[in-house]
C-alpha cells in the first residue's frame, strides 16, 4: 500500500507539473495574450486618432474651401443696376448700353486664366460679351482704351467716355472679387487702376 500510494502521488505530481509547464510554455497562449493586448492598444490608438483627425481635417478643408470660394455671382440685372447707380445714368437702358460697350471693349484686353475666371464670375450675359472678343495683339494704354470706347459711343468725348469706363469697371470688384481684379491689373499697362476707382501705385525707383 505504501508503494502504491507513493506511485499515485508521484504520478499526480507529474501531471500537475506537466500541465503547469505546458501552460507556461504554450506559444499559442502567449501569442493570443499578446494579440489581445495589441488589439486593445491599437483600438485605443485608432479611437484617439479618429476623434482628433476628423476635427483637424474638417477645419483644414473648411478653411481651404472658404479661401478658394469665389464671390456670389451677380445677375445681369444687378450688374446693370450697379452701373446705373455708379454712373448716375438717367435710365436703365442707358446704363445697360454703356455696360455692353465697355465690357465688349475691355474683353479683348484680358487674356489667359484671368480671362477664363472673368467670364466664369461675371453674369452669363456679361460673360458672353467678354468671351466673344478676340484678344488684342497690342495692349492699349489706359488713355488709348478710353479713346477706343469714345469711338463706340455716339456723341462721346474723352471726358464722357472716361466717365462711362469708370462707371462700369469700378463695379467689377464687387461682381468678380478684388483678387481677380488685382490679377487683371497686373497684366495691364499702368493707369488702368484709376479706371477701376483705385489709386495707381507707382513702384519705387
Tens of pLDDT, residues 50-100: 444 444 334 443 443 443 445 478 999 999 999 999 999 999 999 999 999
Residue 1 lies in a domain: no
Based on the domain organization, do 41 and 138 belong to the same domain?
Answer: no
What secondary structure, in 3-state letters, does the chain show? CHHHHHHHHHHHHHHHHHHHHHHHHCHHHHHHHHHHHHHHHHHHHHHHHHHHHHHHHHHHHHHHHHHHCCCCCCCHHHHHHHHHHHHCCCCHHHHHHHHHHHHHHHHCCCCHHHHHHHHHHCCHHHHHHHHCCCCCCCCCCHHHHHHHHHHHCCCCCHHHHHHHHHHHHCCHHHHHCHHHHHHHHHCCCCCHHHHCCCCCCCCCC
Residue 145 lies in a domain: yes
Query: Residue 150 corresponds to which cell in the numbers above?
Result: 469714345
Given 68, 97, 115, the domain boundary residue is 68
Residue 156 lies in a domain: yes
Residue 88 lies in a domain: yes
Based on the domain organization, do 98 and 139 belong to the same domain?
Answer: yes
Based on the domain organization, do 85 and 166 belong to the same domain?
Answer: yes
Tens of pLDDT, residues 156-176: 999 999 999 999 999 999 999
Tens of pLDDT, residues 10-49: 444 444 443 433 333 444 444 444 444 444 444 444 434 4
What is the domain-level CATH number for residue 104? 1.10.490.110
Residue 2 lies in a domain: no
Based on the domain organization, do 164 and 189 belong to the same domain?
Answer: yes
Based on the domain organization, do 178 and 123 belong to the same domain?
Answer: yes
Give this prediction's pTM: 0.64
Tens of pLDDT, residues 173-190: 999 999 999 999 999 999
Range of the domain at 48: 13-68
Given 49, 68, 87, the domain boundary residue is 68
Residue 6 lies in a domain: no
Query: Residue 73 corresponds to which cell in the numbers above?
Result: 455671382
Based on the domain organization, do 24 and 53 belong to the same domain?
Answer: yes
Instruction: Report the pLDDT value the prediction gives residue 73, as an integer from 0 to 100.
Output: 86
Q: SS3 for 201?
A: coil
Based on the domain organization, do 169 and 118 belong to the same domain?
Answer: yes
Based on the domain organization, do 186 and 111 belong to the same domain?
Answer: yes
Based on the domain organization, do 150 and 191 belong to the same domain?
Answer: yes
Based on the domain organization, do 111 and 190 belong to the same domain?
Answer: yes
Q: How many domains does the chain have?
A: 2
Based on the domain organization, do 29 and 82 belong to the same domain?
Answer: no
Amino acid at each position: 500500500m505504501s508503494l502504491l500510494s507513493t506511485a499515485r502521488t508521484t504520478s499526480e505530481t507529474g501531471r500537475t507539473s506537466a500541465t503547469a509547464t505546458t501552460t507556461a510554455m504554450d506559444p499559442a497562449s502567449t501569442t493570443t495574450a499578446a494579440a489581445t493586448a495589441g488589439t486593445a492598444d491599437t483600438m485605443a490608438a485608432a479611437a484617439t486618432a479618429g476623434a482628433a483627425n476628423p476635427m483637424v481635417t474638417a477645419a483644414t478643408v473648411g478653411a481651404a474651401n472658404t479661401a478658394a470660394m469665389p464671390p456670389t455671382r451677380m445677375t445681369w440685372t444687378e450688374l446693370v443696376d450697379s452701373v446705373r447707380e455708379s454712373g448716375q445714368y438717367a435710365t436703365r437702358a442707358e446704363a445697360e448700353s454703356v455696360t455692353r460697350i465697355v465690357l465688349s471693349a475691355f474683353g479683348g484686353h484680358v487674356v489667359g486664366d484671368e480671362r477664363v475666371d472673368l467670364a466664369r464670375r461675371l453674369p452669363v450675359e456679361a460673360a458672353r460679351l467678354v468671351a466673344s472678343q478676340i484678344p488684342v495683339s497690342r495692349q492699349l494704354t489706359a488713355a488709348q482704351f478710353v479713346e477706343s470706347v469714345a469711338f463706340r459711343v455716339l456723341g462721346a468725348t474723352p471726358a464722357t467716355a472716361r466717365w462711362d469706363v469708370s462707371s462700369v469697371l469700378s463695379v467689377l470688384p464687387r461682381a468678380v472679387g478684388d483678387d481677380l481684379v488685382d490679377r487683371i491689373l497686373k497684366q495691364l499697362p499702368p493707369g488702368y487702376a484709376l479706371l477701376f476707382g483705385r489709386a495707381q501705385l507707382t513702384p519705387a525707383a
